[in-house]
Structure 1
Amino acid sequence: MSKVDQITEYLQNYIVQDTTVPRNIRKAASDAIKFLKEKDKENKVKAYSAIEVLDGVSNDPNMPMHARTIIWEVLSELEKVE
């Protein structure tokens, strides 16, 4: 399993499926997953697209702390993708 696949699965399991996370943040995570699953682009391009989406919601005041921590972890891992 590639790093991008692991990140996608992590977002799906811990953000998208968590009903305690506000809907707009789950939507951003879903959008990031869609970018990461695109077949016709390089991993680096997919990662930067996902970073842009997730960075926009990372400072949302309504986000629970556990979700914020997960988003920051994912952003950190996405920055390492080559």
Structure 2
Amino acid sequence: MADNEQNKQVMDEAVNTLNQVAANPATPKTIKKNITDLLKELDSSEYSLSVRAANAISALDDITQDPNMPSYVRVTLWQAVSKLEGIRE
């Protein structure tokens, strides 16, 4: 049970990181839209926590390939990926 609580805490940390990127005025609009869509998927309870984390990692990998992305935004997204990779069930 502690693992599930720990996973939820890690997910919350990753969501907070993504919210900060989406709220940053320097983040390009296309990136903000992609992150907002991703946050909606993470909030959904349709899939288990680990599946949502894996889907988010895949989506973030695609998002970070955008050549218009500022490097500091890319690094912040990688931090979110790093947190999500710790979620296991």
TM-score by length of 1: 0.87
Which residue in 2 is equivalent to 1:20? Answer: 26
2:58 is aligned with what amino acid? E
- Gaps in structure 1 of 5+ consecutive residues: none
CA RMSD between the two structures = 1.4
Structure 2 residue ranges without an equivalent (≥5)? 1-7
Distance 1:38 1:78 in 2: 16
Alpha-carbon distance, 1:38 to partner: 1.2
- Matched to 1:5, the amino acid is D
Pairing partner for 1:9 from 2, 12, 16: 16
The equivalent residue for 1:66 is 72
**Contact 2:13–2:83 (CA<8 Å) still a contact in 1?**
no
Identity of aligned residues (%): 30
- CA-CA distance at 1:51 after TM superposition: 1.4
Structure 1 residue runs of 4 or more that deviate by more than 3 Å after TM superposition: none
Higher relative contact order structure (alpha carbons within 8 Å, sequence separation ≥ 6): 2
2:18 aligned counterpart, secondary structure: helix
User: Normalising to structure 2: TM-score of the pair?
Assistant: 0.81
What is the aligned length?
81
